[in-house]
Structure 1
Amino acid sequence: MLNPYKTCLLIDDSYIDNFISRRILESSNFAEQIIVCQSPAEAIDLLREGSVKPDVIFLDIRMPLMTGFEFLQEYDALPMDKDGIKIFMLSSSLDPTDLKESLGNKYITQFIHKPLTLKSLEEICP
């Protein structure tokens, strides 16, 4: 894989999960730039101010203060061009309700179970 994407935004409250996911993304040359946010609110702020225009977002579901689904509601309200942005729900959740809600959301491209792997990246690359 050689930088199929320009910018990747990783949103997860877990430092360890972010560390592992970032290493996988870097070692596979998934994107030219990888931006990590440990809170959905931080990611919303970056998107709102226009300092980040990701091609791909990896989003956890279960996070304190704001869940992945609450992030998606805030994201929906942002006055920005969302065309071409792929959002992958990256979660360890086994709750069928989470999977169903993810697949029913217009912004979610696919649900990926943690941990992120080279195989899962190969499956989503163009």
Structure 2
Amino acid sequence: MTNSRINMLVIDDDDINIFIIKKVIEKTGYEVDMTSKSNGQLAIDYLTSITSNVEIFPHIILVDINMPILNGWEFLEAYEKLNIVRPKVYLYMLSSSVYEYDIEKAKGFKSVNGFISKPLTIERLKELLQLVVL
């Protein structure tokens, strides 16, 4: 990766979780530009508006499941229909759900790289950030 900054999009309607993720990012030692959207529709609108801007397009997208307007599953359906052709985007479901059904459902989306249970830890975030840097 030529740019040392990592772009991350967090799609979550919980302000406390957004705050926690920001604090976790600060503790990783990586330079991360984090953008957050409170629902899937705002995220789709955002991604559509920046599709051609490689400088700010996210390297990592974290998606909560339960949100208003467009939930995480609906976001994934809309995201995959966009057919965004970008260098590798690492997309993970980030949820407090402990249901095996949700974990299995996430595997059914070609754009999803994995399922992370909240809260996001420093160690897990470092693993994700290292994927981008390598």
SS at match of 1:13: coil
Q: Quick check: 2:28–2:126 contact (8 Å CA) kept in 1?
A: no
2:98 aligned with 1:94, yes or no? yes
Which amino acid letter does the alignment assign opposite residue 74 of structure 1?
A
Q: TM-score, normalised by structure 1?
A: 0.87
Q: Which amino acid aligns with 1:21?
A: I
Secondary structure of the corresponding residue to residue 49 of structure 1: helix
Contact map agreement 2:39 2:71 (CA 8 A) in 1 = no
Secondary structure of residue in 2 paired with 1:99: helix
Which whole-Å CA distance do the structure 2 matches of 1:73 and 1:26 have between them? 31
Offset of 1:24 from its aligned partner? 0.6
RMSD: 1.9
Report the 3-state secondary structure (helix = DSSP H, G, I; strand = E; otherwise coil) of the residue aligned with 1:45: helix
Task: Tell me how far 1:17 sits from its aligned partner.
Answer: 0.7
Sort the Cα spacing of 1:98 and 1:82 in 2 relative to 1 into closer, same or farther, 3 A. Answer: farther
Cα drift, residue 120 of structure 1: 1.2
Query: What is the percent sequence identity of the aligned residues?
Result: 33
**One-letter amino acid matched to 1:40:** G
| Residue number in structure 2 paired with 1:46 | 46
Tell me the matched-pair count.
124
- Aligned ranges for residues 64-75 of structure 1 at < 5 Å? 64-75=68-79
**Equivalent residue for 2:33?**
33
Structure 2, unmatched stretches of 5+, are none
Structure 1's consecutive aligned runs of 4 or more residues displaced over 6 angstroms after TM superposition are none
Point out where structure 1 has 5 or more consecutive residues left out of the alignment.
none
Q: Matches of 2:58 and 2:23 in 1, distance apart?
A: 18
Q: Read off the aligned partner of 1:110 and give its amino acid letter.
A: G
TM-score (norm 2): 0.82
Q: What is the alpha-carbon distance in structure 1 between the residues aligned to residue 57 and residue 127 of structure 2? A: 23
Other structure's SS at 2:26 match: helix
Please give the alpha-carbon distance, in whole angstroms, between the structure 1 residues aligned to 2:45 and 2:26: 24
Q: CA deviation at 1:27?
A: 2.5
- Please report how far the alpha carbon of residue 20 of structure 1 lies from its aligned counterpart in structure 2 after TM superposition: 0.5
Q: Distance in 2 between matches of 1:102 and 1:30?
A: 27
Does the aligned pair in 2 maintain the 1:8–1:31 contact within 8 Å? no
